[in-house]
Amino acid sequence: MSRSRHRHGRAGRAALFVVLCGVLLLGFPASVPARAVPPSPPAGPENSPDQAPMVIVPSGAPAPPALTAASAVLLDVASGRVLYAKAGAVQRPPASLTKVMTALLALEGGGLDEPVEVSEAAANVGGSSLWLAAGETQTLRDLLYGLLLRSGNDAAMAIAEHVAGNADDFALLMNRRAAAIGVTATHFRNPHGLPTSGHVSTATDLALIAREALLREDFRQIVATRRHVIPWPGQPWDRAVYNENRLLWLYPGADGVKTGWTEEAGRCLIASATREGWPLVAVLLDAPEMWTDATELLDWGFASFRCLELYAAGSQVSRVRVAGAAERWVPLAAGRSVRLAVLPGEEARIEVVPVAPSFVRSPLKAGTQAGSLRLAVDGVPLAAVPLVVAENVPPGGIVGRFVEDLWVLLLETLRRVLAPDATPDATMDAMPGATMDATPDGARGAARSESAPA
């Protein structure tokens, strides 16, 4: 009798499991799982400063120019693809190129019209300066212009203290943001780039940081500005600051980004240019002829590659189910245009993979990120483009919410039964227990003073 009850108990649990599977399978039509693409590796093997620098370009690219820079990288801003790397993974002092991260954090914090009071510590920072006085008040916006055009170290310190309270805590924010971008060999110790032990980055990392900043319209507007006027309290005139990036005057399409120099770092430059809506960014570290290097590297990039648009911004890429509804789907669209720098004949080797949750929960506003579109060429992963909800998803009412909650409960139960040790991916907080797959809709396969450190 005991063994009979045991057999009946096991049969009952098996029946319950079959019922759970049936309920879920009725609502989930077959879909093609999307492969998650791992983070992009560095551009190439790391070289020590004493080794001959290794130059890496995509297979089939024309011969690149010979550069004077100790380290250099050319990056496609749209996709994050490295088009050229010379000792791109070697750690070096970044000098004032540090200020790109300082500006990015300030812009992401918002409040550009907020007043910032300059502390005595900020006013007394050495090197390149806006001549800020202790107790002076400027808007965060004007300090950013002084930071990125004139390379004011005092502006950098004032911004850091305004955002984080002090420079040390701001450096922690800088490193946290760098890790979120995916850079692996950068460590910031201050907001301005003056020489400090352990304050290092690489050409590849700085290119990725610059790309993140260049995706912002407000950052692009500042670094493309040639002249800006900043109030000067107590003086009969204002401060007129001029951009120290000579390429804005000399190179067709130049629109950024930042110069830098210290005796330890040498001459450094992040140079961006856009032609026919296609932006490239070059990073040069310890480059005696940085203006020539930048011109030749950008020319080579624009001549060797072309920009291929895979999806226009707002075009539908895939769709995702709304929880609790067998036939309720919401389209997912590209959050921005999906473009990629390619060589002739590379189109067939491009992989575009939509990665989205199995379902989303209502309500959702149009434009809410709900996944990503992963790009790769020859299996090398590139940057991901956000996938956003293309239309509003209204709430389903009391009954609808109950059905959604039941749906999520059943899915979570099934996940725990089938893979109790697995950790579910969560693209959004509103997607508990989500697993990453998608139903694709036609997704494609295959002139400054060099004596003042900045």
Q: What is the per-residue pLDDT across 201-236, written as a single tens digit (0 to 9) for each?
A: 999 999 999 999 999 999 999 999 999 999 999 889
62-304: CATH topology is Beta-lactamase (3.40.710)
**CA-to-CA distance for 450 and 433, rounded, in angstroms?**
56
Task: Write down the pLDDT at residue 419.
Answer: 64
Sorted by where each begins, the domain ranges of the chain are 20-36+311-440, 62-304
Highest mean pLDDT among 29-38, 179-188, 379-388: 179-188
Q: Please indicate whether residue 151 is annotated as part of the active site.
A: yes
* Mean pLDDT score across all residues of the chain: 82
CATH number for the domain formed by residue range(s) 20-36+311-440: 2.60.410.10
Q: H or E segment at 157?
A: helix 153-164
Task: Write down the pLDDT at residue 7.
Answer: 45
Same fold, 20-36+311-440 and 62-304: no
Q: Please indicate whether residue 258 is annotated as part of the active site.
A: no
pLDDT band at 449 (very low <50, low <70, confident <90, very high): very low
Q: Which of 99, 201, 358, 372 is catalytic?
A: 99
Q: Which of 40, 79, 96, 318 is catalytic?
A: 96
pLDDT band at 2 (very low <50, low <70, confident <90, very high): very low
Task: Write down the pLDDT at residue 430.
Answer: 30
Task: Write down the pLDDT at residue 45.
Answer: 43
User: Residue 124, CB half-sphere, CA atoms under 13 Å: how many?
Assistant: 3
pLDDT band at 26 (very low <50, low <70, confident <90, very high): very low
Please state the rounded mean pLDDT for residues 241-268.
97
> Going along 298-347, which residue ranges are E strands?
306-311, 316-322, 329-334, 338-342
pLDDT band at 90 (very low <50, low <70, confident <90, very high): very high
Q: Please indicate whether residue 59 is annotated as part of the active site.
A: no
Q: Which of 110, 117, 152 is nearest to 135 (CA)?
A: 117
- The pTM of the full predicted model, rounded to 2 decimals, is 0.80
Please state the rounded mean pLDDT for residues 14-35.
40
- Plot region of 95 (φ>0 → left; ψ -120 to 50 → alpha; else → beta): left
Six-digit token string for 339: 């473009």
